[in-house]
Structure formats: structure tokens, C-alpha cells
Amino acid sequence: MGLACGIVGLPNSGKTTVYGALTGTDPADRQPHPFSTIEPKKAAVDVPDPRLQRIAEFIPTKKIVPAQMLVVDIPGLVAGASQGEGMGNTFLGSIKESEILLHVVRCFSNENVPGSSDPAEDTEIIELELLETDLGTVTRNLERVAKKARVGDKDALAQQAVFEKAKAVLEQHRPLRTAEFSERDKALLKPLFLLSIKPVLFIANVGDDDAHGTGDKVAQLRDYASRTNASVIHLCGDLEAELVRMDADERAVFMEELQFTESGLSRLIHSAFDLLGLQTYFTAGEPEVRAWTIRKGDTAPVGAGVIHTDFEKKFIRAEVYSYEDLVALGSESAIKQAGKLRLEGKSYELRDGDICHFLIGN
């Protein structure tokens, strides 16, 4: 399972810098201008997890394969984009299948960078464009199901009810994520690929004078997020871009000077995982040590199905032990001798840090 994240933000909010830092790319043109991203960009990003290297210390392997997430960067939106202003909302389609929106908000002051630096105002501009886009989508689909609903089609009546509820929320200028929808409602809304129902992680892009995110602008953004059912992390896009260009030793020294225990990009990725209720299990052997992404509560057959879809149906059992036990005991043989290797069946819910060997039938 790959985590797909769509990056949105106003022009010159720093979102392209954040994308560049995440993907290890350096935009050819870092000068501020109205539309820093001309077309959607996509890249797969490794999920930082120091446990992988540690596992390989105990289980010699040819290859280490981290989990990945897909990041999509679209052009900076402007007020009226949903009505065709600026570059319009054409590129919003590029993030419709994203599981989470990473909304970069400018929380720094720089007279050489055009645009506002009012976090609440900037955030609301983007939110309004997402709302207006969703309102258009919901309205069109209401019209589509109306005819069938009038003649009593049960599926159409159910769609009509939830679409009307969503439309009412949007007409109040509220993101759909702030409303209560049942799992059945969400299933009916899913084919519409609505944007404002997606979880949002606001990225407060701070200046290097507020690298720890304690300033007023970040506080304003946190207040807005608390009122709209969203989450916030802070990072300094320029500093993160510098960090990814350093070698490991230089990076460690620089982070110590900044009193960083973890890079902003690592916090961003882990925050996105937490917001979506994701976790990681591992497979380990001589060919490779690999991280796999699953949802909290997924059973062992579901986890096996992430490796290959057939494995879910053909699952028989799993041999499971924990990362902590491997570190404590030093080898799989020691884990077996200590009685820490467990045989788990189809009802077992995988845990973060489990190391698994799956037995699959024909």
C-alpha cells in the first residue's frame, strides 16, 4: 500500500521548496514568481525508518527496501481558481486520488518574496477553492441521481441523501472533513473524489528565525487547524532543502547545532502516517529487508496481501516476532529458543514493528 499525498498552497508559500526537499530534487529556478510550479510533478519518497538498518545488522541481507509514499505537487492556487482564475482548477484533478493533503502555509516574513504572510487568510483562500470545487462536483452529481431517485431507486435515494448533506455543509463554507459522515456515507461519497473531505496536514513553513515553530504565525495556524479538524507541523523549507544536500555526518552536526532530534521532513512523513492510521511491518531475509505499509487493525492475511494480492486468499499462517525482541535477543534462532516466535492465524491483527514470515498455500 502506497501513501499518496497531494501538496497544495499559494504561490510563494514554499510548497515547491518543500516538495524539492522531500524528493531530493532542487528546482532549477528558485526565484519567486506567480506560478512556481507549471505542471504537476510526482515522485516516490522513501519513508525514513532507522529500524530497517538495525534489522539488517542482525539478519544479513542483499538489499534494504523502505516503504514509500507518492507526493504530487501542483501549481500554486490563487483566489478564484475554482472559477478559472489564474491557472484554474485543472490541476486539482492530479490530487483527487491522494489520501491526504499537505497544505503548505507561509509562516515567514520576507520582503523579497511577494504575497501575503497572514497564515489564516492564506489558508482560507485555498480552503475556499477546494470547497468551491467540491460544491460543483456534488451539485453535478445530485443532478445526475435526481431522476432515478424520483422513481424510487434505492441506491439513487441513498446517494441523493448524502449528496444533499454534503452540499449543505459546503454551502456553509465548511470543509467536509468537519462534518460527521457514517462509513456508509463515506463509501457513497468516495467515487466523487472530493477534496475537502480528505485529512489535511498543514505545514507551517517557517523562517530560519523560528526553526522550532514557536512564533505567532504558527500559533495562528494551529488555532485555525483546531477549528477545522486538521493537524499542523512546522518546518523550515529552506533549512530542510539544505539538510538533504548534506552528507550524513555533516547533517548530524548541523541538526545538533539546531537542536533538532529529527528532521522536519521525517516528522512530516510520520505525521502523515499517523493521521491516516498507518503502520509498518517488516519482512526480513537474505534477499531483502523490506518495510510494508498497512493500516492499524489490519489482519495478517490483509498484510500478506500487500506483498501480493493472491497471498490474502491463500494465507495459512504467519510466523511473527517483534523488532524489539530481535534487538534484545540478536537473532531469529535466539528468538525461537526464548519462545518469542509466535504462530498467528487469520484473525491476528498485525502490530507496528512486527517481523513476519507468511506461509501461503497453493
Check residue 34 and give its pLDDT: 44
Q: How confident is the model at residue 90 (pLDDT cuts 50, 70, 90)?
A: low
Report whether CATH 2.70.98.10 matches the domain 297-360.
Answer: no
CATH number of 3-117+197-275: 3.40.50.300
- Cell numbers at residue 240, please? 530542510
Question: The whole model's pTM is what?
Answer: 0.86
Q: Mean pLDDT throughout 312-331?
A: 97
Note the pLDDT of residue 32.
44
pLDDT of 290: 98
CA distance 232 to 145: 37
Grid cell of 56 as nine digits: 539488517
User: In the β-sheet with 231-235, what is the strand arrangement from edge to edge?
Assistant: 41-46, 68-73, 3-8, 100-107, 200-206, 231-235
Name which residue leads in pLDDT, 302 or 72.
302
| 344 band by pLDDT with thresholds 50, 70 and 90 | very high
34, three cell numbers: 506567480
Q: What is the arithmetic mean of pLDDT over 23-44? A: 61
59 vs 147, more confident: 59
Mean pLDDT over each residue of the chain, to the nearest integer: 89
Give the pLDDT band (50/70/90) at residue 94. confident
pLDDT confidence tier of residue 77, bands split at 50, 70 and 90: low
Residue 244: which pLDDT band, with cuts at 50, 70 and 90? confident
C-alpha–C-alpha distance, residues 102 and 291, integer Å: 23
In degrees and rounded to multiples of 5, residue 6 shows phi and psi of -105, 130
Exposure b/e, 213-230, CB count within 10 A at least 16 = b: bebebbebbbebbeebeb
Taking 3-state DSSP, the helix, strand and coil percentages for the chain, each rounded to the nearest 5, stand at 45, 20, 35
Query: Domain residue spans in the chain?
Result: 3-117+197-275, 132-192, 297-360
pLDDT band at 114 (very low <50, low <70, confident <90, very high): low
- Domain 132-192 belongs to what topology? DNA polymerase; domain 1 (1.10.150)
To the nearest whole percent, how much of the chain has pLDDT over 70? 89
Instruction: Look at 111-125, 134-148, 340-354 and tell me which has the smallest mean pLDDT.
Output: 111-125
